[in-house]
A and B are shown apart, each in its own frame.
Chain A
Amino acid sequence: MLKVLKPGFYTTVQDTGRFGYRDIGVPVSGVMDNKALAIANSLLENEEDAAVLEITMTGPTLEFEEKTYIALSGAIMNPTLNNNPIVNNKVYRVQEKDILSYGRLDKGLRSYLAIKGGWQTKKVLGSRSYFKAITLVECVADHTEIPYIPCASFEPKIPEMPIESHFEEKVLQVSKGPEYALLLDRQLEKIFGNEFKVAKDYNRMAYQLMETVAEHNINMLTSATLPGTVQLTPSGKLIILMKDGQTTGGYPRILQLSDDAIALLSQKKMGDSISFKLM
Protein backbone atom coordinates (compact mmCIF):
# COMPACT_ATOMS: atom_id res chain seq x y z
CA MET A 1 0.00 0.00 0.00
CA LEU A 2 0.95 3.60 -0.53
CA LYS A 3 0.04 5.78 2.43
CA VAL A 4 -1.09 9.28 1.59
CA LEU A 5 0.41 11.53 4.28
CA LYS A 6 -0.59 14.71 2.46
CA PRO A 7 -2.75 14.63 -0.68
CA GLY A 8 -1.40 17.70 -2.50
CA PHE A 9 -3.67 20.18 -4.28
CA TYR A 10 -5.44 17.77 -6.63
CA THR A 11 -4.10 14.25 -7.03
CA THR A 12 -6.03 11.58 -8.94
CA VAL A 13 -5.56 8.05 -10.22
CA GLN A 14 -5.65 8.00 -14.03
CA ASP A 15 -5.05 5.50 -16.80
CA THR A 16 -5.65 5.88 -20.54
CA GLY A 17 -9.37 6.37 -19.94
CA ARG A 18 -12.84 4.87 -19.89
CA PHE A 19 -14.04 3.96 -23.36
CA GLY A 20 -17.38 2.69 -24.61
CA TYR A 21 -19.74 4.66 -22.37
CA ARG A 22 -19.99 8.03 -24.09
CA ASP A 23 -23.44 7.11 -25.40
CA ILE A 24 -24.68 7.18 -21.80
CA GLY A 25 -22.91 10.43 -21.00
CA VAL A 26 -19.78 9.07 -19.31
CA PRO A 27 -16.68 11.10 -20.23
CA VAL A 28 -13.48 9.35 -21.27
CA SER A 29 -11.30 10.74 -18.43
CA GLY A 30 -7.73 9.39 -18.26
CA VAL A 31 -4.41 11.25 -18.03
CA MET A 32 -4.36 14.77 -19.39
CA ASP A 33 -0.77 14.43 -20.66
CA ASN A 34 -0.57 11.22 -22.71
CA LYS A 35 3.07 11.80 -23.56
CA ALA A 36 4.14 11.95 -19.91
CA LEU A 37 2.15 8.79 -19.17
CA ALA A 38 3.86 6.94 -22.02
CA ILE A 39 7.34 7.89 -20.78
CA ALA A 40 6.81 6.86 -17.16
CA ASN A 41 5.04 3.59 -18.03
CA SER A 42 7.56 2.57 -20.67
CA LEU A 43 10.51 3.16 -18.32
CA LEU A 44 8.89 0.74 -15.87
CA GLU A 45 7.97 -1.62 -18.75
CA ASN A 46 4.34 -1.40 -17.66
CA GLU A 47 1.29 -1.99 -19.84
CA GLU A 48 0.58 1.24 -21.68
CA ASP A 49 -2.70 1.70 -19.80
CA ALA A 50 -1.22 1.06 -16.33
CA ALA A 51 -2.66 3.55 -13.86
CA VAL A 52 -0.52 6.45 -12.60
CA LEU A 53 -1.09 9.27 -10.13
CA GLU A 54 -1.77 12.61 -11.78
CA ILE A 55 -0.42 15.32 -9.50
CA THR A 56 -1.61 18.87 -10.08
CA MET A 57 0.07 22.12 -9.03
CA THR A 58 1.39 21.05 -5.59
CA GLY A 59 2.51 17.54 -4.88
CA PRO A 60 1.53 15.09 -2.15
CA THR A 61 3.67 13.43 0.54
CA LEU A 62 3.58 9.68 0.19
CA GLU A 63 4.95 6.72 2.12
CA PHE A 64 5.63 3.35 0.48
CA GLU A 65 4.94 0.28 2.64
CA GLU A 66 6.60 -2.26 0.36
CA LYS A 67 9.52 -2.40 -2.05
CA THR A 68 8.88 -1.29 -5.59
CA TYR A 69 10.14 0.84 -8.49
CA ILE A 70 8.79 4.19 -9.56
CA ALA A 71 9.22 6.73 -12.33
CA LEU A 72 8.08 10.36 -12.42
CA SER A 73 7.27 12.42 -15.49
CA GLY A 74 5.45 15.54 -16.65
CA ALA A 75 5.65 18.82 -14.71
CA ILE A 76 8.87 19.60 -12.82
CA MET A 77 7.98 19.74 -9.12
CA ASN A 78 11.35 19.24 -7.40
CA PRO A 79 10.58 15.82 -5.96
CA THR A 80 12.62 14.18 -3.20
CA LEU A 81 12.89 10.59 -2.02
CA ASN A 82 13.75 10.56 1.69
CA ASN A 83 14.80 14.19 1.27
CA ASN A 84 17.24 13.40 -1.55
CA PRO A 85 16.40 15.20 -4.79
CA ILE A 86 15.29 12.93 -7.64
CA VAL A 87 14.54 13.73 -11.29
CA ASN A 88 11.82 13.00 -13.81
CA ASN A 89 12.07 10.32 -16.51
CA LYS A 90 14.23 7.97 -14.45
CA VAL A 91 13.54 4.67 -12.67
CA TYR A 92 14.08 4.69 -8.90
CA ARG A 93 14.10 1.81 -6.49
CA VAL A 94 11.91 2.32 -3.43
CA GLN A 95 12.30 0.57 -0.05
CA GLU A 96 9.83 0.02 2.77
CA LYS A 97 9.02 3.27 4.59
CA ASP A 98 10.53 5.48 1.89
CA ILE A 99 8.92 8.89 1.66
CA LEU A 100 8.33 10.71 -1.60
CA SER A 101 7.50 14.37 -1.43
CA TYR A 102 7.34 17.29 -3.80
CA GLY A 103 8.67 20.83 -3.74
CA ARG A 104 8.05 23.94 -5.79
CA LEU A 105 6.36 23.70 -9.18
CA ASP A 106 8.99 24.85 -11.67
CA LYS A 107 7.58 23.95 -15.05
CA GLY A 108 4.27 22.69 -16.35
CA LEU A 109 1.26 21.88 -14.18
CA ARG A 110 0.67 18.11 -14.04
CA SER A 111 3.24 15.62 -12.85
CA TYR A 112 2.89 11.85 -13.00
CA LEU A 113 3.91 9.11 -10.58
CA ALA A 114 4.05 5.67 -12.16
CA ILE A 115 4.76 2.49 -10.21
CA LYS A 116 5.94 -0.91 -11.39
CA GLY A 117 2.76 -2.80 -12.36
CA GLY A 118 0.52 0.27 -12.07
CA TRP A 119 -1.70 1.46 -9.19
CA GLN A 120 -4.27 -1.19 -8.33
CA THR A 121 -7.37 0.80 -7.36
CA LYS A 122 -10.67 -0.74 -8.41
CA LYS A 123 -11.69 -0.55 -12.05
CA VAL A 124 -15.13 0.93 -12.68
CA LEU A 125 -16.57 0.54 -16.19
CA GLY A 126 -13.22 -0.74 -17.39
CA SER A 127 -11.01 2.04 -16.06
CA ARG A 128 -9.34 3.21 -12.85
CA SER A 129 -9.55 6.88 -13.83
CA TYR A 130 -11.14 8.94 -11.10
CA PHE A 131 -14.36 10.71 -12.07
CA LYS A 132 -16.71 11.65 -9.25
CA ALA A 133 -19.99 10.35 -10.69
CA ILE A 134 -18.39 7.03 -11.63
CA THR A 135 -15.67 6.20 -9.10
CA LEU A 136 -17.44 8.09 -6.29
CA VAL A 137 -14.11 9.64 -5.28
CA GLU A 138 -12.95 12.83 -6.90
CA CYS A 139 -9.34 12.95 -5.77
CA VAL A 140 -6.86 11.32 -3.40
CA ALA A 141 -7.63 12.28 0.21
CA ASP A 142 -5.57 12.56 3.39
CA HIS A 143 -4.83 9.32 5.22
CA THR A 144 -6.06 7.06 2.45
CA GLU A 145 -4.13 4.16 0.98
CA ILE A 146 -3.54 3.28 -2.64
CA PRO A 147 -2.80 -0.37 -3.42
CA TYR A 148 0.11 -1.61 -5.54
CA ILE A 149 1.84 -4.94 -6.16
CA PRO A 150 5.24 -5.03 -4.40
CA CYS A 151 8.25 -5.66 -6.61
CA ALA A 152 11.59 -6.66 -5.06
CA SER A 153 13.76 -6.68 -8.14
CA PHE A 154 13.53 -5.25 -11.63
CA GLU A 155 16.28 -4.52 -14.17
CA PRO A 156 14.98 -1.73 -16.42
CA LYS A 157 16.17 -2.04 -20.02
CA ILE A 158 16.26 1.74 -20.26
CA PRO A 159 16.77 3.29 -16.81
CA GLU A 160 16.51 6.91 -17.89
CA MET A 161 15.18 9.10 -20.71
CA PRO A 162 16.07 12.68 -21.61
CA ILE A 163 13.67 15.35 -20.38
CA GLU A 164 12.44 16.84 -23.63
CA SER A 165 9.77 19.11 -22.35
CA HIS A 166 7.01 20.83 -24.27
CA PHE A 167 6.54 23.34 -21.47
CA GLU A 168 7.76 26.34 -23.53
CA GLU A 169 5.87 25.31 -26.67
CA LYS A 170 2.66 27.28 -27.10
CA VAL A 171 1.37 26.43 -30.56
CA LEU A 172 -1.58 24.05 -30.48
CA GLN A 173 -1.97 21.98 -33.65
CA VAL A 174 -5.64 21.84 -34.58
CA SER A 175 -7.87 20.51 -37.32
CA LYS A 176 -11.14 22.04 -38.46
CA GLY A 177 -14.09 21.18 -36.23
CA PRO A 178 -17.53 20.25 -37.61
CA GLU A 179 -18.81 23.88 -37.44
CA TYR A 180 -15.58 25.49 -38.70
CA ALA A 181 -17.24 26.53 -41.97
CA LEU A 182 -19.66 28.79 -40.06
CA LEU A 183 -16.85 31.05 -38.83
CA LEU A 184 -16.68 34.55 -40.28
CA ASP A 185 -13.46 36.05 -41.67
CA ARG A 186 -13.03 38.38 -38.69
CA GLN A 187 -13.44 35.46 -36.31
CA LEU A 188 -10.87 33.42 -38.23
CA GLU A 189 -8.43 36.35 -38.21
CA LYS A 190 -8.78 36.68 -34.46
CA ILE A 191 -8.44 32.94 -33.84
CA PHE A 192 -5.35 32.37 -35.98
CA GLY A 193 -3.75 35.81 -35.79
CA ASN A 194 -3.52 36.17 -32.03
CA GLU A 195 -2.29 34.53 -28.90
CA PHE A 196 -4.77 33.58 -26.22
CA LYS A 197 -4.26 33.31 -22.49
CA VAL A 198 -5.62 30.57 -20.25
CA ALA A 199 -8.42 32.06 -18.10
CA LYS A 200 -9.05 31.32 -14.42
CA ASP A 201 -11.38 28.42 -15.20
CA TYR A 202 -9.14 25.58 -16.31
CA ASN A 203 -9.38 22.03 -15.06
CA ARG A 204 -9.75 18.44 -16.20
CA MET A 205 -13.16 19.23 -17.69
CA ALA A 206 -12.28 22.28 -19.76
CA TYR A 207 -9.89 25.16 -20.33
CA GLN A 208 -11.45 28.56 -20.90
CA LEU A 209 -9.51 31.29 -22.69
CA MET A 210 -9.42 34.94 -21.65
CA GLU A 211 -9.63 36.70 -25.01
CA THR A 212 -12.90 36.49 -26.91
CA VAL A 213 -13.72 36.46 -30.62
CA ALA A 214 -16.80 38.06 -32.24
CA GLU A 215 -20.19 36.98 -30.90
CA HIS A 216 -22.45 34.71 -32.93
CA ASN A 217 -26.01 33.42 -32.93
CA ILE A 218 -25.43 30.04 -34.55
CA ASN A 219 -28.15 27.73 -33.34
CA MET A 220 -27.42 24.02 -33.39
CA LEU A 221 -28.82 20.92 -31.77
CA THR A 222 -26.86 19.18 -29.03
CA SER A 223 -24.30 16.83 -30.54
CA ALA A 224 -21.23 14.84 -29.46
CA THR A 225 -18.07 16.55 -28.22
CA LEU A 226 -14.60 15.06 -27.69
CA PRO A 227 -11.55 15.83 -25.56
CA GLY A 228 -9.81 18.62 -27.45
CA THR A 229 -12.99 20.07 -28.98
CA VAL A 230 -12.85 23.88 -29.08
CA GLN A 231 -16.32 25.33 -28.53
CA LEU A 232 -17.33 28.90 -29.34
CA THR A 233 -20.01 30.28 -27.00
CA PRO A 234 -22.55 32.85 -28.26
CA SER A 235 -20.68 35.58 -26.35
CA GLY A 236 -17.48 34.71 -28.24
CA LYS A 237 -15.68 32.82 -25.50
CA LEU A 238 -13.51 29.83 -26.43
CA ILE A 239 -13.84 26.69 -24.31
CA ILE A 240 -11.51 23.77 -24.92
CA LEU A 241 -12.95 20.52 -23.60
CA MET A 242 -10.48 18.21 -21.87
CA LYS A 243 -10.51 14.59 -20.65
CA ASP A 244 -13.36 14.92 -18.12
CA GLY A 245 -15.32 17.13 -20.51
CA GLN A 246 -19.00 16.51 -21.15
CA THR A 247 -19.79 14.06 -23.96
CA THR A 248 -22.31 16.29 -25.72
CA GLY A 249 -22.73 20.03 -26.13
CA GLY A 250 -24.75 22.65 -27.94
CA TYR A 251 -22.04 25.17 -28.87
CA PRO A 252 -20.39 25.21 -32.31
CA ARG A 253 -17.31 22.94 -32.38
CA ILE A 254 -14.99 25.11 -34.38
CA LEU A 255 -11.63 23.38 -33.91
CA GLN A 256 -10.30 20.03 -32.75
CA LEU A 257 -6.94 19.77 -30.95
CA SER A 258 -4.51 17.01 -31.92
CA ASP A 259 -3.62 14.46 -29.22
CA ASP A 260 -0.24 16.15 -28.74
CA ALA A 261 -1.94 19.54 -28.42
CA ILE A 262 -4.14 18.20 -25.60
CA ALA A 263 -0.99 16.96 -23.80
CA LEU A 264 0.68 20.34 -24.36
CA LEU A 265 -2.31 22.35 -23.13
CA SER A 266 -2.68 20.17 -20.04
CA GLN A 267 0.66 21.54 -18.77
CA LYS A 268 -0.61 25.16 -19.04
CA LYS A 269 -2.12 27.20 -16.26
CA MET A 270 -3.88 30.54 -15.84
CA GLY A 271 -2.13 33.33 -17.73
CA ASP A 272 -0.07 31.04 -19.97
CA SER A 273 -0.22 31.90 -23.68
CA ILE A 274 -1.26 29.60 -26.47
CA SER A 275 -2.00 29.98 -30.17
CA PHE A 276 -3.75 27.83 -32.75
CA LYS A 277 -2.25 26.47 -35.97
CA LEU A 278 -4.19 24.50 -38.56
CA MET A 279 -2.56 21.20 -39.43
Chain B
Amino acid sequence: MRGFSPAIRSFGIHAVLLEWPNEVDEDILTDILQFCQYLQQFCPKEQGWEMIPAYNSLTLVQKNSVIDFKAFSHDLLKWYRSKEEIAPAQKFLWRLPVCYDLDFGIDLAELSEKLSISIPELIDLHTKNTYTVYGIGFLPGFMYLGGLPKSLETPRKAMPRLKVLKGAVGLAGRQTGIYPQESPGGWNIIGNCIVPIFDIKRENPCLVRVGDKIQFYAISRAEYDLHKIESEVGIYKLEKIKVDA
Protein backbone atom coordinates (compact mmCIF):
# COMPACT_ATOMS: atom_id res chain seq x y z
CA MET B 1 0.00 0.00 0.00
CA ARG B 2 1.30 3.45 -0.93
CA GLY B 3 1.65 6.15 1.68
CA PHE B 4 -0.36 9.33 1.18
CA SER B 5 -0.59 12.77 2.72
CA PRO B 6 -4.01 14.19 1.92
CA ALA B 7 -4.42 17.94 1.41
CA ILE B 8 -7.02 19.63 3.62
CA ARG B 9 -9.09 22.47 2.20
CA SER B 10 -11.83 24.56 3.75
CA PHE B 11 -15.18 24.33 2.00
CA GLY B 12 -17.45 26.98 3.52
CA ILE B 13 -17.99 27.11 7.26
CA HIS B 14 -19.79 23.78 7.51
CA ALA B 15 -17.46 21.50 5.55
CA VAL B 16 -13.88 20.42 5.09
CA LEU B 17 -12.47 18.65 2.06
CA LEU B 18 -9.60 16.16 2.12
CA GLU B 19 -7.91 15.41 -1.18
CA TRP B 20 -5.69 12.57 -2.24
CA PRO B 21 -3.71 12.56 -5.56
CA ASN B 22 -5.89 13.30 -8.59
CA GLU B 23 -6.09 9.71 -9.86
CA VAL B 24 -8.67 6.96 -10.18
CA ASP B 25 -6.86 4.39 -8.06
CA GLU B 26 -8.05 1.51 -5.91
CA ASP B 27 -5.34 2.10 -3.27
CA ILE B 28 -6.42 5.72 -2.88
CA LEU B 29 -10.06 4.74 -2.47
CA THR B 30 -9.14 2.08 0.10
CA ASP B 31 -7.09 4.60 2.09
CA ILE B 32 -10.02 7.07 2.03
CA LEU B 33 -12.54 4.47 3.16
CA GLN B 34 -10.26 3.25 5.90
CA PHE B 35 -9.84 6.81 7.20
CA CYS B 36 -13.61 7.25 6.94
CA GLN B 37 -14.05 4.19 9.13
CA TYR B 38 -11.50 5.48 11.67
CA LEU B 39 -13.16 8.92 11.78
CA GLN B 40 -16.55 7.52 12.83
CA GLN B 41 -15.48 7.76 16.49
CA PHE B 42 -14.51 11.45 16.21
CA CYS B 43 -17.17 12.62 13.78
CA PRO B 44 -20.26 10.50 14.53
CA LYS B 45 -23.47 10.85 12.60
CA GLU B 46 -25.36 11.49 15.86
CA GLN B 47 -23.42 14.72 16.26
CA GLY B 48 -24.47 15.96 12.86
CA TRP B 49 -21.51 14.75 10.80
CA GLU B 50 -21.74 13.45 7.26
CA MET B 51 -18.87 11.92 5.30
CA ILE B 52 -18.95 11.86 1.52
CA PRO B 53 -16.19 9.82 -0.12
CA ALA B 54 -15.73 10.06 -3.90
CA TYR B 55 -12.77 8.98 -6.06
CA ASN B 56 -9.83 10.89 -4.50
CA SER B 57 -11.66 12.97 -1.92
CA LEU B 58 -13.47 12.85 1.37
CA THR B 59 -15.80 15.68 2.37
CA LEU B 60 -16.84 16.10 5.99
CA VAL B 61 -19.96 18.17 6.61
CA GLN B 62 -21.14 19.41 10.00
CA LYS B 63 -24.83 20.25 10.23
CA ASN B 64 -25.07 21.88 13.65
CA SER B 65 -22.07 24.09 14.12
CA VAL B 66 -19.40 26.12 12.40
CA ILE B 67 -16.11 24.32 11.82
CA ASP B 68 -12.98 25.96 13.21
CA PHE B 69 -10.91 25.13 10.14
CA LYS B 70 -7.47 25.59 11.71
CA ALA B 71 -8.13 23.50 14.78
CA PHE B 72 -10.08 20.86 12.88
CA SER B 73 -7.49 20.40 10.14
CA HIS B 74 -4.85 20.00 12.83
CA ASP B 75 -6.98 17.25 14.39
CA LEU B 76 -7.60 15.61 11.03
CA LEU B 77 -3.89 15.39 10.27
CA LYS B 78 -3.22 13.97 13.71
CA TRP B 79 -5.99 11.39 13.27
CA TYR B 80 -4.79 10.53 9.79
CA ARG B 81 -1.25 9.92 11.05
CA SER B 82 -2.41 7.89 14.02
CA LYS B 83 -4.92 5.89 12.01
CA GLU B 84 -3.81 2.35 12.74
CA GLU B 85 -4.39 -0.48 10.37
CA ILE B 86 -8.01 -0.76 11.46
CA ALA B 87 -10.14 -3.29 9.65
CA PRO B 88 -11.93 -1.64 6.75
CA ALA B 89 -15.70 -2.04 6.46
CA GLN B 90 -16.86 -5.30 4.85
CA LYS B 91 -17.10 -4.89 1.11
CA PHE B 92 -19.52 -6.71 -1.14
CA LEU B 93 -19.64 -7.74 -4.76
CA TRP B 94 -23.14 -7.13 -6.12
CA ARG B 95 -24.20 -9.19 -9.14
CA LEU B 96 -26.74 -7.21 -11.14
CA PRO B 97 -28.89 -8.66 -13.94
CA VAL B 98 -28.99 -6.61 -17.13
CA CYS B 99 -31.29 -7.17 -20.06
CA TYR B 100 -29.35 -6.20 -23.20
CA ASP B 101 -32.44 -6.66 -25.38
CA LEU B 102 -32.47 -4.17 -28.27
CA ASP B 103 -35.68 -2.65 -26.85
CA PHE B 104 -33.59 -1.43 -23.91
CA GLY B 105 -30.15 -1.24 -25.50
CA ILE B 106 -31.23 1.54 -27.80
CA ASP B 107 -27.66 2.58 -28.61
CA LEU B 108 -26.23 -0.95 -28.97
CA ALA B 109 -26.43 -1.05 -32.76
CA GLU B 110 -24.83 2.36 -33.18
CA LEU B 111 -22.10 1.58 -30.63
CA SER B 112 -21.33 -1.79 -32.18
CA GLU B 113 -20.63 -0.03 -35.45
CA LYS B 114 -18.67 2.83 -33.88
CA LEU B 115 -16.47 0.56 -31.74
CA SER B 116 -16.19 -2.13 -34.47
CA ILE B 117 -17.26 -4.96 -32.19
CA SER B 118 -20.31 -7.17 -32.50
CA ILE B 119 -23.18 -6.76 -30.04
CA PRO B 120 -22.53 -10.17 -28.38
CA GLU B 121 -18.84 -9.21 -27.96
CA LEU B 122 -19.85 -5.86 -26.52
CA ILE B 123 -22.10 -7.60 -23.97
CA ASP B 124 -19.30 -10.06 -23.13
CA LEU B 125 -16.91 -7.19 -22.52
CA HIS B 126 -19.39 -5.32 -20.36
CA THR B 127 -20.17 -8.37 -18.19
CA LYS B 128 -16.58 -9.67 -17.99
CA ASN B 129 -15.07 -7.07 -15.63
CA THR B 130 -15.95 -6.28 -12.06
CA TYR B 131 -16.39 -2.57 -11.46
CA THR B 132 -15.49 -0.54 -8.39
CA VAL B 133 -17.98 1.96 -6.91
CA TYR B 134 -15.87 5.14 -6.67
CA GLY B 135 -18.70 7.37 -5.58
CA ILE B 136 -22.48 7.69 -5.20
CA GLY B 137 -24.07 10.98 -6.19
CA PHE B 138 -25.61 13.00 -9.02
CA LEU B 139 -28.97 11.27 -8.39
CA PRO B 140 -29.97 9.27 -5.29
CA GLY B 141 -28.32 5.87 -5.72
CA PHE B 142 -26.32 6.74 -8.86
CA MET B 143 -23.01 4.85 -8.77
CA TYR B 144 -19.84 6.14 -10.37
CA LEU B 145 -18.25 2.90 -11.60
CA GLY B 146 -14.60 2.52 -12.56
CA GLY B 147 -12.99 -0.37 -14.40
CA LEU B 148 -14.56 -0.24 -17.86
CA PRO B 149 -12.60 -2.20 -20.50
CA LYS B 150 -10.66 0.19 -22.74
CA SER B 151 -12.40 -1.13 -25.85
CA LEU B 152 -15.76 0.11 -24.52
CA GLU B 153 -14.66 3.69 -23.91
CA THR B 154 -16.81 6.01 -25.97
CA PRO B 155 -17.77 9.69 -25.74
CA ARG B 156 -21.20 10.64 -24.42
CA LYS B 157 -23.86 11.40 -27.00
CA ALA B 158 -23.58 14.78 -28.70
CA MET B 159 -27.23 15.54 -27.89
CA PRO B 160 -28.44 14.33 -24.48
CA ARG B 161 -31.84 12.63 -24.38
CA LEU B 162 -34.59 14.43 -22.50
CA LYS B 163 -35.73 11.16 -21.02
CA VAL B 164 -33.71 8.09 -20.10
CA LEU B 165 -35.59 5.17 -18.53
CA LYS B 166 -35.19 4.17 -14.91
CA GLY B 167 -32.67 1.33 -14.75
CA ALA B 168 -31.00 2.28 -18.06
CA VAL B 169 -27.41 1.00 -18.21
CA GLY B 170 -25.11 3.38 -20.01
CA LEU B 171 -21.57 4.01 -21.18
CA ALA B 172 -19.82 7.39 -21.26
CA GLY B 173 -16.11 8.09 -21.42
CA ARG B 174 -14.36 5.70 -19.07
CA GLN B 175 -17.49 5.09 -17.04
CA THR B 176 -20.46 2.79 -16.96
CA GLY B 177 -23.50 3.20 -14.74
CA ILE B 178 -27.21 2.77 -14.10
CA TYR B 179 -29.81 5.55 -14.04
CA PRO B 180 -31.60 4.95 -10.70
CA GLN B 181 -34.62 6.93 -11.85
CA GLU B 182 -35.97 8.42 -15.04
CA SER B 183 -33.99 11.53 -15.93
CA PRO B 184 -32.46 13.41 -18.83
CA GLY B 185 -29.06 12.04 -19.81
CA GLY B 186 -26.31 11.86 -22.40
CA TRP B 187 -24.94 8.37 -21.87
CA ASN B 188 -25.03 5.65 -24.54
CA ILE B 189 -27.72 3.20 -23.41
CA ILE B 190 -26.91 -0.50 -23.81
CA GLY B 191 -29.43 -2.25 -21.55
CA ASN B 192 -31.63 -2.07 -18.48
CA CYS B 193 -31.20 -3.23 -14.91
CA ILE B 194 -34.54 -3.11 -13.17
CA VAL B 195 -33.58 -4.40 -9.72
CA PRO B 196 -33.81 -1.75 -7.00
CA ILE B 197 -30.36 -0.53 -6.01
CA PHE B 198 -32.05 2.47 -4.41
CA ASP B 199 -35.43 1.85 -2.83
CA ILE B 200 -36.98 4.46 -0.58
CA LYS B 201 -39.23 1.84 1.01
CA ARG B 202 -36.20 0.26 2.69
CA GLU B 203 -34.85 1.62 5.96
CA ASN B 204 -31.47 1.61 4.28
CA PRO B 205 -32.50 2.79 0.81
CA CYS B 206 -29.13 2.21 -0.89
CA LEU B 207 -27.54 -1.14 -0.16
CA VAL B 208 -24.44 -0.51 -2.25
CA ARG B 209 -21.68 1.55 -0.59
CA VAL B 210 -18.68 3.34 -2.01
CA GLY B 211 -15.86 0.79 -2.31
CA ASP B 212 -18.16 -2.11 -3.19
CA LYS B 213 -17.84 -4.04 -6.46
CA ILE B 214 -20.39 -4.49 -9.20
CA GLN B 215 -20.64 -7.19 -11.82
CA PHE B 216 -23.28 -7.33 -14.50
CA TYR B 217 -24.68 -10.51 -16.04
CA ALA B 218 -26.93 -10.82 -19.06
CA ILE B 219 -30.52 -11.99 -18.69
CA SER B 220 -33.32 -12.68 -21.15
CA ARG B 221 -36.38 -10.53 -21.62
CA ALA B 222 -38.51 -13.12 -19.78
CA GLU B 223 -36.18 -13.09 -16.77
CA TYR B 224 -36.20 -9.31 -16.85
CA ASP B 225 -40.00 -9.22 -16.74
CA LEU B 226 -39.99 -11.61 -13.79
CA HIS B 227 -37.41 -9.53 -11.86
CA LYS B 228 -39.43 -6.41 -12.58
CA ILE B 229 -42.50 -7.87 -10.90
CA GLU B 230 -40.42 -9.27 -8.02
CA SER B 231 -38.92 -5.82 -7.50
CA GLU B 232 -42.28 -4.06 -7.59
CA VAL B 233 -43.75 -6.29 -4.90
CA GLY B 234 -40.52 -6.10 -2.91
CA ILE B 235 -39.40 -9.75 -2.97
CA TYR B 236 -36.38 -9.42 -5.28
CA LYS B 237 -33.21 -10.08 -3.29
CA LEU B 238 -30.07 -8.42 -4.60
CA GLU B 239 -27.30 -10.96 -5.01
CA LYS B 240 -24.23 -10.09 -2.96
CA ILE B 241 -20.97 -11.85 -2.22
CA LYS B 242 -18.53 -10.88 0.55
CA VAL B 243 -15.25 -9.55 -0.77
CA ASP B 244 -12.09 -10.15 1.24
CA ALA B 245 -10.19 -6.99 2.00
A-side interface residues toward B, CB under 8 Å?
A: 19-27, 124-125, 133-134, 136, 175-178, 220-224, 226, 228-229, 246-249, 253, 256-259
A248 in complex: contacting residue of B12, B52, B63, CB < 8 Å: B52
Q: A22-B61, A222-B54, A248-B136 are in contact. List 10 more A-B contacts (CB 8 A).
A: A21-B205, A23-B52, A26-B140, A134-B200, A221-B24, A221-B56, A223-B17, A226-B11, A247-B52, A247-B138
Residue B59 CB within 8 A of the other chain: yes
Least Cβ–Cβ distance between A258 and chain B, in angstroms: 7
Does the CB pair A221–B139 fall under 8 Å? Answer: no
Does the CB pair A248–B50 fall under 8 Å? Answer: no
Does the CB pair A23–B205 fall under 8 Å? Answer: no
Residue B3 CB within 8 A of the other chain: no
How far apart are the CA atoms of A14 and B51 in the complex, in Å?
A: 24
How far apart are the CA atoms of A134 and B200 in the complex, in Å?
A: 6
Does the CB pair A23–B140 fall under 8 Å? Answer: no
Contacts of B205 in A (CB 8 A): 21, 24, 26, 125
Residue B196 CB within 8 A of the other chain: no
Contacts of B50 in A (CB 8 A): 19-20, 22-23
Digitize B131-147: 1 where CB-to-A-CB distance is under 8 Å, 0 elsewhere. Answer: 00011111111101000
| Known contacts A23-B51, A176-B10, A222-B55; is-contact A248 B22 (Cβ 8 Å) | no
Does the CB pair A19–B63 fall under 8 Å? Answer: yes
Contacts of A23 in B (CB 8 A): 50-53, 136, 209-210
Residue of A nearest to B144 (CB): A222
Does the CB pair A222–B12 fall under 8 Å? Answer: no
Does the CB pair A175–B140 fall under 8 Å? Answer: no
Does the CB pair B135–A134 fall under 8 Å? Answer: no
Among A24, A125, A134, find the residue whose CB has the most chain B CB atoms closer than 10 A: A24
Residue B13 CB within 8 A of the other chain: yes
A-B contact pairs, 6 of them (CB 8 A): A24-B136, A25-B140, A177-B11, A178-B9, A224-B61, A226-B15
Residue of B nearest to A255 (CB): B12
How far apart are the CA atoms of A24 and B19 in the complex, in Å?
A: 20
Residue of A nearest to B142 (CB): A25
How far apart are the CA atoms of A167 and B217 in the complex, in Å?
A: 55
Contacts of A226 in B (CB 8 A): 11-12, 14-15, 61
Digitize B98-126: 1 where CB-to-A-CB distance is under 8 Å, 0 elsewhere. Answer: 00000000000000000000000000000
How far apart are the CA atoms of A256 and B206 in the complex, in Å?
A: 29
Interface size for chain B: under 10, 10 to 19, 20 to 34, or 35 or more residues?
35 or more
Residue of A nearest to B22 (CB): A221
Contacts of B198 in A (CB 8 A): 24-25
Contacts of A27 in B (CB 8 A): 140
How far apart are the CA atoms of A279 and B87 in the complex, in Å?
A: 42
Least Cβ–Cβ distance between B88 and chain A, in angstroms: 16
Among B9, B10, B52, B134, find the residue whose CB has the most chain A CB atoms closer than 10 A: B52
Residue B57 CB within 8 A of the other chain: yes
Residue of A nearest to B9 (CB): A178
Does the CB pair B144–A175 fall under 8 Å? Answer: no
Contacts of B180 in A (CB 8 A): 25, 133
Among B9, B52, B137, B141, find the residue whose CB has the most chain A CB atoms closer than 10 A: B137
Does the CB pair A248–B135 fall under 8 Å? Answer: yes
How far apart are the CA atoms of A178 and B206 in the complex, in Å?
A: 28
| Known contacts A19-B48, A24-B205, A248-B135; is-contact A224 B24 (Cβ 8 Å) | no
Least Cβ–Cβ distance between B107 and chain A, in angstroms: 22
Does the CB pair A133–B140 fall under 8 Å? Answer: yes
Residue B37 CB within 8 A of the other chain: no
Q: Which 6 A-B pairs have the closest CB atoms?
A: A248-B137, A224-B59, A24-B206, A256-B12, A221-B55, A224-B52
How far apart are the CA atoms of A228 and B63 in the complex, in Å?
A: 14
Least Cβ–Cβ distance between A224 and chain B, in angstroms: 4
Within 8 A of A (CB), among B1-27: 9-15, 17, 19, 22, 24
Residue B45 CB within 8 A of the other chain: yes
Digitize B20-51: 1 where CB-to-A-CB distance is under 8 Å, 0 elsewhere. Answer: 00101000000000000000000001001011
Does the CB pair B138–A248 fall under 8 Å? Answer: yes
Residue B73 CB within 8 A of the other chain: no
A222 in complex: contacting residue of B51, B61, B137, B181, CB < 8 Å: B137
